[in-house]
Structure 1
Amino acid sequence: MAGNFQHLRIGVLAFQGDVREHIQVLEELGAQVSKVRRPDELAAVDALVIPGGESSVMDKLVRLFGMQQPLRDAIASGLPVFGTCAGLIMMADHIVDAIAEQESLGGLHVDVRRNAFGTQIDSFEVDLEMPGVTAEPVPATFIRAPIVERVGEGVRVISQLADGRIVAVEQGYLLGISFHPEVNGDTRVHEYFLGRVAQSVVEKKASI
């Protein structure tokens, strides 16, 4: 259901991964959505979604197209960013089991482990409690998902599995989750992020 998000300009990092799926959800919620591949496109949005996909491939493409430093600068300057699965890995300060030469954008003060649940055939879905995001459990689809192994200063844990493993965190206007909310028709996590983006826009206008 579309909310009061028509004034928000949301970019989706469009090098690799579930780009189309995120765009569809965001547009359904009423936001203005654009693909981001260049610094000028990044500069034109109020927030950014980094989709799920393959984090090592995404990292290589981000660097190949000269977007690593612009993205790092945008995150450091307070741009709201929502990372799902590989997007969470890209946002993390440290990747515990990174492949050779793999880098992240950083900014989110966590350590993550890639493919913490095994291979594609080990994918699963579970209902997650996400206090502060929504009152009712969220159906969460995990596909070769990472987990957060350590949280640093300023990071709030917003969801854990029954065994205590951390799968969703928030730090200021940075939101990182292990699962894929764009694939199952439930829009509540996206709605929550858009609400946070709306708050950030108000704050920026007030500071001018």
Structure 2
Amino acid sequence: MSGPLIGVLALQGDVREHLAALAAADAAAGPVRRPEELARVDALVVPGGESTTMSKLATLFGMLEPLRERVRAGMPVYGTCAGLILLADKILDPRSGQETIGGIDMIVRRNAFGRQNESFEASVAMAGVDGGPVDGVFIRAPWVESVGATVEVLAEYDGHVVAVRQGNALATSFHPELTGDHRVHGLFAEMVRAAG
């Protein structure tokens, strides 16, 4: 595969699943753990996992500021679940010491859809994705409470915003990488190619 290289932030979370989904969407991808690896990629996926842990590990590994700088500079980025939380400019109910990368003008609520045992799978109609609704897995999923004027709402579920885009930044509350439906990763790969 040639073309842009998409990194998957590999500090914690479902890294392998994103690498497989990107490969299925014909995108070259590799794990990113250190600032020098971040410097080599053209775009980044911030996976699901535990947002507080990811925030602390990003700080520990010296990744938080380089991540913020790349996102501010316009690097395409896609966050799922915890990744959506980390890409939010503001968290409604942050844990103590929790920081975000930022990049999307939105306020999010952590664990909004309930606890681990309340996880579910649902069909989500998502703008920009052809072929009907996408399958989404919601695991202790956040939702978006509010967005700024330049944020495009791509999907809602049960009256709550669950997918957004602002410029080169894309985020979903749910995990498309766990379903075998790679169209959201395909959309992100197209965004990356368009950003050139």
Fold similarity call, TM over 0.5:
yes
Q: How does 1:142-153 map to 2 (within 5 A)?
A: 142-153=138-149
**Matches of residues 13-92 of structure 1 in structure 2 within 5 Å?**
13-92=9-88
Give the conservation status (yes or no) of the 8 Å contact 1:79–1:173: yes
Distance 2:169 2:92 in 1: 20
1:188 partnered with 2:183: yes
CA drift of 1:35 comes to: 1.0
Higher normalized contact order (CA 8 Å, seq sep 6+, divided by chain length) = 2
Deviation at 1:26, TM superposition (A): 1.1
Report the 3-state secondary structure (helix = DSSP H, G, I; strand = E; otherwise coil) of the residue aligned with 2:30. strand
CA contact 1:6–1:30 (8 Å) conserved in 2: no
Whole-Å separation in 1 of the counterparts to 2:30 and 2:123: 30
Q: Aligned with 1:73: secondary structure?
A: helix
* Cα drift, residue 132 of structure 1: 2.1
Question: Residue 105 in 1 paired to residue 96 in 2?
Answer: no
Give, as a single letter, the amino acid of the residue that structure 2 aligns with 1:148.
V
Structure 1: gaps spanning 5 or more residues: 202-208
Amino acid at match of 2:107: D
Distance 1:134 1:75 in 2: 27
* The 10-residue stretch of structure 1 (59-68 or 32-41) with the greater mean CA deviation from structure 2: 32-41
Q: SS of 2:177's equivalent? A: coil
Instruction: Number of aligned residue pairs: give it.
Output: 196
| 2-structure distance, mates of 1:30, 1:130 | 21
Counterpart in the other structure of 1:9 = 5
Deviation at 1:153, TM superposition (A): 2.7
- In structure 1, C-alpha distance between the alignment counterparts of 2:65 and 2:149, rounded to whole Å: 23
Q: Say which of 134, 138, 151 aligns to 2:134.
A: 138
Rg larger for: 1
Aligned to 2:163: 168
Percent of residue pairs bearing the same amino acid type: 54
Give me the CA root mean square deviation.
1.0
Q: Cα distance, 1:135 vs. partner?
A: 3.8
Deviating more after overlay: 21-30 vs 100-109: 21-30
Q: Which runs of 4+ in 1 moved over 6 A?
A: none
Greater shift in the superposed pair: 35-44 or 85-94: 35-44
- Cα distance per residue 1:32-59 (max 9 Å; x no partner): 2111111111111110000000000000
TM-score by length of 1: 0.92
